[in-house]
Amino acid sequence: MRTLFLKPIILFIFLVSMVACKQALFTGAERDLIHNGGEEAPFDVLTILNDEDVEKLRNVSEDIPLQFDDTTLQLLLKKLSITLKAANGVGIAAPQVGINKNIFLFIRLDLPDEPVITVINPKIVRHPIETVCFEGDGCLSIPGFSGNSVRYPWVEVEYYTENGEPVRERLEGYSRQDTFSAVIFQHEYDHLQGVLFTDKRCDAPDSDGEKDDFDNHFDSDCEDDDF
């Protein structure tokens, strides 16, 4: 008789401990930020024009536990996609909206229909020694400025998709005249380290040796895609 009562109690304790073992993906403040404004509202993008934003943009982000069915994670991805589209960008990283987690979205301009790719817990596992000076980098967090940045011409990367599918692939392209998927990935990956493209400025090969004047070169008519 006693064991009849004990069994459901043990089962209950086991289930509760299973739930407790699930790690929290986000802090309370991050959850509030993600849910704020409802499911369809774009996030406000942090910019270097605001001191508090700069502090968050300079934070180093962290990997998330691999719990891809988490509803808050899926909502974050949905709202990042909405924000990317609203801003007409080619990439956006979670830190740019105040979530310091290793997550970003980027558009594969080199693939048919230019799909938006979700990247979770990414790593750059291989790259060449040589670098190129990519012309026309831009960033949603640095409005109105376009400049050149030092980049690898290709990168081999690993990450998880929104469904938890592990991906390992080589990304190529560093020219706005052709494709620049390798550069977009590096730009977004840098955001996760608290690095902005203006930290990596370089002289274009055909320039006269003068770097862009970042402090005096804000151009509100800049038409390059930002990321």
Beta carbons of 184 and 91 less than 8 angstroms apart: yes
Q: How far apart are CA 161 and CA 183, in angstroms?
A: 19
Beta carbons of 53 and 141 less than 8 angstroms apart: yes
In the 8-state DSSP scheme, what is residue 115? P
Q: Which amino acid is at 107?
A: I
Q: How far apart are CA 120 and CA 42, in angstroms?
A: 20
Q: Report, in Å, the least distance between residue 119 CB and Zn ion.
A: 14
Measured distance between the N- and C-terminal CA atoms of the chain, rounded to whole angstroms: 66
- Residue among 45 and 64 whose Cβ is closer to Zn ion: 45
Q: How far apart are CA 156 and CA 125, in angstroms?
A: 6
Q: Using CB positions, name the residue nearest to Zn ion.
A: 139
**Could you confirm whether 162 is annotated as catalytic?**
no
- Residue among 133 and 195 whose Cβ is closer to Zn ion: 195
Q: Report, in Å, the least distance between residue 157 CB and Zn ion.
A: 17
- Catalytic residue, from 52, 188, 210, 223: name it: 188
Q: Report, in Å, the least distance between residue 192 CB and Zn ion.
A: 11
Binding interface with Zn ion (CB under 5 A): 139
Q: How far apart are CA 45 and CA 47, in angstroms?
A: 6
Any residues with CB less than 8 A from the CB of 12 and at least 6 apart, and which? none
Beta carbons of 175 and 151 less than 8 angstroms apart: no
- Residue among 89 and 173 whose Cβ is closer to Zn ion: 89
Q: Report, in Å, the least distance between residue 227 CB and Zn ion.
A: 5
Encode 77-111: b = buried (16+ Cβ within 10 Å), e = exposed.
bebbbebbeebebbbbbbbbbbbbbbbbbbbbbee
Q: Report, in Å, the least distance between residue 196 CB and Zn ion.
A: 7
- Residue among 132 and 139 whose Cβ is closer to Zn ion: 139
Q: Which amino acids are annotated catalytic?
A: 188
